[in-house]
Amino acid sequence: MSSAPLVQRSALQWARAELFSGPGNTLLTLLIAAALAWVVPKLVGWALLHAVFRSDALACRAAEHAGACWGVIAEKLRAILFGRYPFDQQWRPLAGLLLLLALAGTSALPRWWGRWLLPGWLLALVAFVLLMHGGVLGLAVVPSSRWGGLPLTLLLSLVSLALAFPLGVLLALARRSPWPVLRSLAATYIEIVRGVPMISVLFMASFMLPLLLPSGWQLDVLLRVLVGITLFTAAYLAEVVRGGLQAVPAGQWLAARALGLEPWQVQYFIVLPQALRAVVPALMNSFIGTFKDTSLVVIVSLYELTGALTLALGGDPTWRPFYLEGYLFVAAIYWLLCFGMSRYSRWIEARLTARP
């Protein structure tokens, strides 16, 4: 087990403690260093030195996979980022994307937290959907079947999380309610949803909802999938929130009741704020999970980031051999966003615990 250093160490002492503290440790260090010395140059050679950066299919073929073909991304960038959205209208998803990212950036900083957050986000989402769909301000209508790429990924995750969060809180409260019928309904729902794979829920949204709803009520496939992801995510969030509720000592409830607060006031002002604060990291993990899970909608033919890539490269024999580079690019986008979120959650958690 590593223990915290008690005194300032010199670089040499540090290396000795970390890398060469005994014969076993030294051997391990040498083995790993040898493996790295073998792998890293190959990787650098493939990814950088022998790579083709121009959008030149002939040069890429000539490299014969000895070097990466990053040209495929230069060639297909817009198709990967925006899917089948009409080419000359792609400034609209781009503007929407920038709007959402800018808003996410500003609302991440605690100094700008305030009452504007909720209406701000609602307004931005409405503006985003109007921008994508068109039909106002002289924008041509683009049906949701043509939406795709990164904007669709963000839309699916943001909207489903925004709807699933309050639903999850309600489910968690219901599951801990003293009323037996309510409690068992919530528990049944949560356990069923958590027991099945997300694909089966997406299949339901895609194949079964059209059968379930009467003819006059038919929903567009994007909305159906949104309903599916929301209902699925809510069950997971409910369990996270329940964990937080359990962490709030019973004395809080009793004290608040003794002060004369009504039960709903106790939940809203006393219990929930403490419960949610306690589970910030777990909530963030769920958010990241949902963000990654939106990639599954490609299976029911919605072309978000992952799907847009398969559309862009799958049907093009010239660039198809360089799928791997395309996947790496998409993986890098997901990684940046997910890793960013998890780092942010640690930072926020530290802030919240520093100032209870």
Partner 1 sequence: MTPDAAGGGTPPPARRIPWAAWAFQAGLLLVLLGLGAWLLSSTLDHLRERGVRAGFDFLKDPAGFEIGESWIHYESSQPFWRAFLAGLANTVRVAVPGIALTTLLGTLLGLGRLSRNLLLRAIATAYVELIRNVPLLVQLFMWYFALTELLPASGEALKLGPGLFLSKSGMSFPWPLWEAGHFWPSAIEWPEAGELNVSGGASVTPEFLAVLLGLVTYTAAFVAETVRAGIQSVSQGQWHAALSVGLTPRQTLRFIVLPQALRVIVPSITNQYLNLTKNSSLAVAVGYPELVSVANTAINQTGRAFECIAVIMSVYLALSLLTSALMNRYNKRVALRGGA
Nearer to partner 1, 127 or 187 (CB): 187
Minimum CB–partner distance for residue 286 and partner 1 (Å): 13
Nearer to partner 1, 200 or 353 (CB): 200
* Residue 212 found at the interface with partner 1 (CB under 8 A): yes
* One of 9, 194, 346, 351 touching partner 1 (CB under 8 A): 194
* Residue 265 found at the interface with partner 1 (CB under 8 A): no
* One of 59, 108, 162, 185 touching partner 1 (CB under 8 A): 185
* Residue 2 found at the interface with partner 1 (CB under 8 A): yes
Question: Which is nearest to 355 in space by CA: 191, 8, 44, 113?
Answer: 113
Distance CA 218, CA 120 (A): 30
* One of 108, 176, 265, 281 touching partner 1 (CB under 8 A): 176
* One of 107, 321, 348, 349 touching partner 1 (CB under 8 A): 321
Distance CA 4, CA 10 (A): 15
Q: Are 335 and 274 in contact (CB under 8 A)?
A: no
In degrees and rounded to multiples of 5, residue 31 shows phi and psi of -60, -50
* Residue 57 found at the interface with partner 1 (CB under 8 A): no
Question: Which amino acid is located at 241 in the chain?
Answer: V
* One of 288, 308, 311, 312 touching partner 1 (CB under 8 A): 288
Nearer to partner 1, 122 or 199 (CB): 199
Distance CA 120, CA 132 (A): 18
Question: Which is nearest to 75 in space by CA: 63, 97, 57?
Answer: 57
* Residue 200 found at the interface with partner 1 (CB under 8 A): yes
* Residue 246 found at the interface with partner 1 (CB under 8 A): yes
Question: Which is nearest to 233 in space by CA: 163, 280, 175?
Answer: 163
Question: Which is nearest to 86 in space by CA: 143, 5, 165?
Answer: 143
Question: Which is nearest to 168 in space by CA: 47, 50, 287, 260?
Answer: 287
Contacts to partner 1 from residues 325-354, by CB under 8 A? 327-328, 330-331, 334-335, 338-339, 342
Choose the binding region for partner 1 from 17-25, 51-59, 73-81, 84-92 (rule: CB under 8 A).
17-25
Nearer to partner 1, 95 or 185 (CB): 185
Count how many residues are written for the chain: 356
CA angle at residue 108 from 105 to 309, to 5 degrees? Answer: 50
Tell me, by CB under 8 A, how many residues bind partner 1: 73
Interface map 18-37 toward partner 1 (x if CB under 8 A): xx-x---x--xx--xx--x-
The CA-based dihedral angle spanning residues 45, 48, 51, 56, taken in that order and rounded to the nearest 10 degrees: 180
* One of 77, 140, 192, 259 touching partner 1 (CB under 8 A): 192
* Residue 211 found at the interface with partner 1 (CB under 8 A): yes
Question: Which is nearest to 173 in space by CA: 83, 289, 271?
Answer: 271
Cα-based distances in Å from 113 to 106, 107, 196: 9, 6, 37
Q: Give SS3 for 3.
A: coil
Minimum CB–partner distance for residue 234 and partner 1 (Å): 16
Nearer to partner 1, 18 or 220 (CB): 18
CB-count burial class (<10 Å; 0-12, 13-18, 19+) for 183 = middle
In degrees and rounded to multiples of 5, residue 145 shows phi and psi of -70, -20
Choose the binding region for partner 1 from 87-95, 104-112, 130-138, 206-214 (rule: CB under 8 A).
206-214
Nearer to partner 1, 142 or 206 (CB): 206
Contacts to partner 1 from residues 214-233, by CB under 8 A? 214-215
Choose the binding region for partner 1 from 111-119, 156-164, 212-220, 230-238 (rule: CB under 8 A).
212-220
Query: Which two structure tokens, joined as six digits, stand for 10?
Result: 């010199």
* Residue 207 found at the interface with partner 1 (CB under 8 A): yes
* Residue 181 found at the interface with partner 1 (CB under 8 A): yes
